Amino acid sequence: MTYQLYYWDGIQGRGEFVRLALEEAGADYRDVARENGGVEKMMAFLEGRGGHMIPFAPPFLTDGSDVISHVANILHYLGPKLNLVPADETSHFFAHGLQLTITDFITEIHDTHHPLGTDDYYEDQKREAKIRAGRFLKSRLPKFLEYFESILAHNPTGPAHAIGGRLSYVDLSLFQVLEGLRYAFPNALKRHEPSYPNLLKLHAMVKERPNIRAYLSSRRRLAFNESGIFRHYPELDQDT
Amino acid sequence: MTYQLYYWDGIQGRGEFVRLALEEAGADYRDVARENGGVEKMMAFLEGRGGHMIPFAPPFLTDGSDVISHVANILHYLGPKLNLVPADETSHFFAHGLQLTITDFITEIHDTHHPLGTDDYYEDQKREAKIRAGRFLKSRLPKFLEYFESILAHNPTGPAHAIGGRLSYVDLSLFQVLEGLRYAFPNALKRHEPSYPNLLKLHAMVKERPNIRAYLSSRRRLAFNESGIFRHYPELDQDT
């Protein structure tokens, strides 16, 4: 069965967390909205012409007649099928909880450039974005990174992975978060990173996975840009 | 087995979505942080003294040695056990996707009074809160309510429920969202509500469920207040 991923073309965005899992597993999938006529197919689902399981927003995944929406839900669905989460139910719910904390982290990263509302331009909220980004870098960024460093340090099987003794979709998402933060806030990250040695090791490990390495150097991996979640606005990359 | 819910005392907050499910089902549970010494027990988990499945923040639920964190994850875990979601896997993932959209809605509701950061007081971001709340009421609130109205209208078994032909945890959460919005934005809701007749009927139906009615009139149900997610600041309840 071919998985059909639906997400906006032109950005990594939230869809990228799903792509990394599909790519690592070598899964058979189509990135529908990047194909000819694909955006129209995506809009049909969003407008209720694809059955009653209407997604609120991309990304969503279809698998046969099932429609699964929200990144964390998609990864929770794919995890056991792609062998990217330990087999027991306890681990499924623990992994999903970690992924939902990553979801919250990503929302806060996004909101550094959109504190007043997602429907308006960054240029119309630059003053407020600078305040919010400053507070984010000072307190929220360290809080989230310390949390995940601590999750790695507390793993009973060792600090190489978030859950259990081998790669999971949570590890892949943590890699992507660090990639994105380095792009968006290079100066801040240079100061913060040395405090999180386990996260840095995990990032380097994921980057060297053969399927991930092949994906990152392929045309399927888009570059970061200022339409996605992780945006590099030098004025927000402040010394706090 | 007694479920142990951990959430801050003194507010409904995010914990309330879990309480409504436990109360509707007549489940055996303890609201740990409201008991003597309970906050200390909650902090032990948050500080890594309760095993390696460390939650990022309350609410979290323990069931034996399992620790489940994030509201939507807890409801996804409890749904089949409390008979609050249809039995098939497709419905589990559809219900969970809906609950994650409710999660996003709640975050946006919260951020109307905290656009610049969650660590700072409302009083220090009133100007920005007024801008964000105005944009929320004008575009985001209708977008979310229209979405859920449409989910009800598209339900193949009829518009009385979000999923299938009987009550699910998603219905309970939609009830709570409407309760909270009416408290926070009474004027705006008076204008908006008539556009969402199915949501209004669902709200009235949930309110009359015997277990929910008993819960709402009990001392276990705290009143809304200005420390929770839904806060009534008249200056934010604007005519848009």
pLDDT value for B93: 98
Token pair belonging to A34 = 């990047």
* Cβ pair B131:A119 closer than 8 A: no
Average pLDDT, chain A: 97
pLDDT grade for A118, boundaries at 50, 70 and 90:
confident
In whole angstroms, what is the distance from residue B18 CA to residue B40 CA?
Answer: 21
Name the nearest CA neighbour of A196 among A152, A164, A162: A152
Which positions in chain A touch B54 (Cβ < 8 Å)? Answer: 147, 150-151, 154
pLDDT value for B240: 60
* Cβ pair A52:B107 closer than 8 A: no
pLDDT value for A240: 61
**For testing the chain A interface, which of B46, B52, B92 should be mutated: the one with the most A CBs within 10 Å?**
B52
Token pair belonging to B194 = 């008539």
Average pLDDT, stretch A88-115? 97
pLDDT digit string (tens) for chain B, length 240 residues: 899 999 999 999 999 999 999 999 999 999 999 999 999 999 999 999 999 999 999 999 999 999 999 999 999 999 999 999 999 999 999 999 999 999 999 999 999 999 998 888 999 999 999 999 999 999 999 999 999 999 999 999 999 999 999 999 999 999 999 999 999 999 999 999 999 999 999 999 999 999 999 999 999 999 999 999 999 999 999 866
A43 has a pLDDT exceeding 90: yes
B94, containing H or E segment: helix B89-111
pLDDT tens-digit readout, A156-211: 999 999 999 999 999 999 999 999 999 999 999 999 999 999 999 999 999 999 99
Distance of alpha carbon B68 from its chain centroid, rounded?
A: 16
- Sorted by where each begins, the domain ranges of chain B are 89-209
Which of A69, A94, A100 is facing B72, going by the closest CB pair? A100
Contacts of A227 (CB under 8 A, 6+ apart): A10, A11
In whole angstroms, what is the distance from residue A78 CA to residue A228 CA?
Answer: 24
Contact (Cβ atoms closer than 8 angstroms) between residue A59 and residue A68: no
In whole angstroms, what is the distance from residue A209 CA to residue A15 CA?
Answer: 20
Place of tokens 């249809």: B86
What is the b/e burial string over B60-82, where b = at least 16 CB atoms within 10 angstroms of the residue's CB?
Answer: bbbbeeebbbbbbbbbbbbbeeb
What is the b/e burial string over B174-183, where b = at least 16 CB atoms within 10 angstroms of the residue's CB?
Answer: bbbbbbbbbb
* Cβ pair A136:B156 closer than 8 A: no
Entry pTM: 0.98
A59 φ/ψ sector (left φ>0, alpha ψ -120 to 50, else beta): beta
B86 φ/ψ sector (left φ>0, alpha ψ -120 to 50, else beta): beta
Contact (Cβ atoms closer than 8 angstroms) between residue B197 and residue B146: no
Which positions in chain B touch A75 (Cβ < 8 Å)? Answer: none
In whole angstroms, what is the distance from residue B181 CA to residue B105 CA?
Answer: 11
* Cβ pair A128:B116 closer than 8 A: yes
Q: How far is A25 from chain B (nearest CA, A)?
A: 21
pLDDT value for B166: 96
> Which CATH number among 1.10.287.1120, 1.10.1200.10, 1.10.599.10, 1.20.1050.10 corresponds to the domain A89-210+226-236?
1.20.1050.10
Whole-angstrom CA distances from B228 to A10, B13, B149, B169 are 38, 5, 25, 21
Whole-angstrom CA distances from A210 to A3, A100, A213, A222 are 21, 27, 5, 18
Superfamily name and number for A3-81: Glutaredoxin (3.40.30.10)
Q: Which burial class, exposed, middle or buried, applies to B49 when counting CB atoms under 10 A from its CB (0-12, 13-18, 19+)?
A: exposed
Read out DSSP for A77-122? HHHHHTT-S-SSHHHHHHHHHHHHHHHHHHHHHHHTS-TT-TTS-G
Name the nearest CA neighbour of A179 among A143, A212, A155, A139: A212
pLDDT value for B120: 86
Whole-angstrom CA distances from B63 to A93, A188, B44, B69, B226 are 12, 40, 16, 11, 31
Q: How many CA atoms lie within 13 A of B187 on its CB side?
A: 12
Whole-angstrom CA distances from B105 to A48, A101, B136, B168 are 20, 16, 10, 18
For domain B89-209, the question of CATH label 1.20.1050.10 is answered with yes
A63, containing H or E segment: strand A60-63
